Amino acid sequence: MVCTGSNWPNKQLGKETLLVFLSLIASNLNSRFIFVWGNEEERQVSEELAKKIPGKACVAEKMGLAALQNLMADVDLVLAMDSLPLHLVATTPTPIYSVFGASSAAKFKPSGESHEAFQGVCPFGKTFVKRCSILRTCPTGACIKNIEAEKLFHHFNQFVSRLKQQS
């Protein structure tokens, strides 16, 4: 399951990065994706991405939190940014891979061995304990927008390999 959105744009991967990342997962790990969304903009992004990964992705209908939580419990893995879906999936036994930029993975990543996070780095040298002080005003969101898809895939692939060894 892929949760592309977050309440703040500076907590979201760029569409092109996400597309390359998911394409690498689809081709190298023979994966399929269910995109879920919470608002019209997220739905449009999900549909655009799904079309660019033909035969490997679908977009779910809009659903309430209880239905989303039940679906999350039935998938193999959830990919999310720092968002409500990330924290909702943490209430299920499903493994989670999350991507953080302007908020701290060390502080907000769900705990447990079946949860992994990638932390983007601020190109302006900002550091923080919980959230970047300019999360809502940063004009670039580069800490998450400029993450290299190949680097993200390498980190993700290591996580998936660990999960396979544990099962």
**38-63: pLDDT as tens digits:** 999 999 999 999 999 999 999 999 99
Indicate which CATH number applies to the domain containing 117.
Answer: 3.40.50.2000
Residue-number span of the structural domain to which 36 is assigned: 2-166
Tell me the whole-structure pTM to 2 decimals: 0.93
At 77 the pLDDT is 97
Number of domains the chain contains = 1
pLDDT, residue 52, reads 96
The DSSP line for the chain is -EE---SSGGGS--HHHHHHHHHHHHHHH---EEEE-SSHHHHHHHHHHHHTSTTTEEEPPP--HHHHHHHHHHSS-EEEESSHHHHHHTTSS--EEEEESSB-HHHHSPPSTTEEEEE---TT----SSB-TTTTT-SS-HHHHT--HHHHHHHHHHHHHHHHHH-
